[in-house]
Structure 1
Amino acid sequence: MNNLLSTFALGLGLSLTHCFFMCGGILILFNHNKSTYFDIFTYHFFRIIAYVLIGIIAYFLGYFINSLNLQIFLYFFLGAFCVFLGFALIVKGNLLALIENQFIYKKIILLLSNKKTSKYKGFIFGFLNGLFPCGLVYFFVAKSMIAKSFNEAWLNMFVFGLSTLPAMLLGGVFVKEIRKIKNIQYFLFALIIVYGFYLCYLALKLSR
């Protein structure tokens, strides 16, 4: 339970300082495109469903790697990735572009302007948004890969999805207030780096 609460708290803080400014363009365009409450509900529902499916796949991938007695490699790789991810989120620019490719983002924007997809836009855009390359999603996927159980893995991604709802639903209303706390993101990104070093420490400990 404590692990899920920390996931929600960290996801909430990171989403308010990163998710809205990254995915806000899609959400604003989606909401202004004659969206009903049902469209908005299905959009976020299938976005979270995508996160959960990714978490399940990550868990079984981690389980498979552990079955090959490569747990040390898994922890070290994920730890190094989290350190790199944290620094990439802090400095942004080309470094962040390596892991947050804009290909799917551009495809979603094109689909939103296509009237043929408007009938199912909540389902389509929500699920695609869940697959959008995002450093924060990668971080929580890493946590699912080393989860101790199947339920912990999918709940980790489910809770992360829930934690992004305030930013994604209310970000457009409180954008000025969100900008005021934007600098907090550097502290939260630093926590990702610390977590990465912790995983590397666990890998070193397992190797002894």
Structure 2
Amino acid sequence: MESIYITALLVGLLGGVHCLGMCGGIVGGLTFSVDAKVQLSWWRMFSYQLFYNLGRISSYMVVGAIFGALGMVLVSIQSVVPFQQILQLIAGLFMIALGLYLGGWWFLINRVEAVGQLIWQRLAPFAERFAQVRNYRQAWLYGLLWGWLPCGLVYSMLIMAMTAGGAIEGAALMLAFGLGTLPNLLLMGSFAFYFTRWSRNPKVKSVAGSSVVILGCWQIYLAVNLTA
């Protein structure tokens, strides 16, 4: 079972090319939304970026707990092993689609993100209220809302959270995923221009996409051999 958390962490790291491309503008905006004195202090700026991201990861954990609990309920009302296999197979297939998206080869995930836009449209007005950050609490709250931004990367992990075994396990899986995304987005806050160019490099996207496809195939292999 520990392998599922390692996979989530690796997907977060490898999916950084998507995070930088999709959230780069948000991170850059957050960098300039704080007081000018904070912007002049590398350490204080880093601490604000950290609170933004902790808020984002908190949202992931809440939704992960919900999906983990949902998966546990669905498994409990069905024949346990076959249904768990189905969920894990879906998670693996979704991860393969994600890898193809990251590599720039197939864009089915875009349609999934479009569905999430319906939720974000309702949350966007609240996010605007925290656009001017004055303290760490506001930074965390902004990050909490930011975590609901439509993202195929997050959605693929939520499918996997359903296979984790329960609410706590689902939250832990999303924590592992969130920690995987953390290095890229923290660095993005300090070196926005360089990392945006890096994330758009075709070779970088190809390596990241191929790696996630391999992880998806591994999940399918584990699902097929679940009863072995």
Query: Aligned runs of 1:136-151 on 2, under 5 Å?
Result: 136-148=153-165, 151=168
Matched, 1:187 2:207: yes
Matched, 1:176 2:194: yes
Query: Aligned runs of 1:31-70 on 2, under 5 Å?
Result: 31-35=31-35, 37=44, 39-67=48-76, 68-69=78-79, 70=83
SS at match of 2:113: coil
Q: Which residue of 1 aligns with 2:144?
A: 127
**Alignment deviations for residues 115-143 of structure 1 (CA, whole Å, 9 cap, x no partner):** 78756742442112111221222232233
Cα distance between partner residues in 1 of 2:4 and 2:59 = 21
Checking the alignment, whether the CA contact within 8 Å between 2:55 and 2:147 is kept in structure 1 is: yes
Cα distance between partner residues in 2 of 1:145 and 1:90 = 25
Aligned length: 207
Percent of aligned pairs sharing the same letter: 27
Unaligned runs of 5+ in 2: 39-43
User: Aligned Cα RMSD in Å?
Assistant: 3.5
**Alignment deviations for residues 42-62 of structure 1 (CA, whole Å, 9 cap, x no partner):** 322211110111211121121
Query: Aligned runs of 1:13-92 on 2, under 5 Å?
Result: 13-15=14-16, 17-35=17-35, 37=44, 39-67=48-76, 68-69=78-79, 70-91=83-104
The one-letter code matched in structure 1 to 2:194 is K
TM-score (norm 2): 0.70
Checking the alignment, whether the CA contact within 8 Å between 2:49 and 2:186 is kept in structure 1 is: no
Query: Aligned runs of 1:4-15 on 2, under 5 Å?
Result: 4-15=5-16
Unaligned runs of 5+ in 1: none
Kindly tell me: are residues 118 and 110 of structure 1, through their superposed partners in 2, closer, same or farther at Cα, counting changes over 3 Å?
Answer: farther
Cα distance between partner residues in 2 of 1:84 and 1:116 = 33
State the 1:167 CA deviation. Answer: 1.6
Kindly tell me: are residues 88 and 20 of structure 1, through their superposed partners in 2, closer, same or farther at Cα, counting changes over 3 Å?
Answer: closer
Cα distance between partner residues in 2 of 1:156 and 1:121 = 26
Kindly tell me: are residues 116 and 73 of structure 1, through their superposed partners in 2, closer, same or farther at Cα, counting changes over 3 Å?
Answer: closer
Q: Which residue of 1 aligns with 2:178?
A: 161
Cα distance between partner residues in 2 of 1:163 and 1:9 = 6
SS at match of 1:34: coil
Checking the alignment, whether the CA contact within 8 Å between 2:91 and 2:159 is kept in structure 1 is: yes
Kindly tell me: are residues 75 and 163 of structure 1, through their superposed partners in 2, closer, same or farther at Cα, counting changes over 3 Å?
Answer: closer
Kindly tell me: are residues 177 and 116 of structure 1, through their superposed partners in 2, closer, same or farther at Cα, counting changes over 3 Å?
Answer: closer
State the 1:184 CA deviation. Answer: 2.8
The one-letter code matched in structure 1 to 2:217 is F
Cα distance between partner residues in 2 of 1:117 and 1:192 = 36
**Of 116-125 and 150-159, the range deviating more from structure 2:** 116-125
State the 1:198 CA deviation. Answer: 3.8
Q: Which residue of 1 aligns with 2:41?
A: none
The one-letter code matched in structure 1 to 2:173 is N
SS at match of 1:61: helix
**Of 17-26 and 142-151, the range deviating more from structure 2:** 142-151
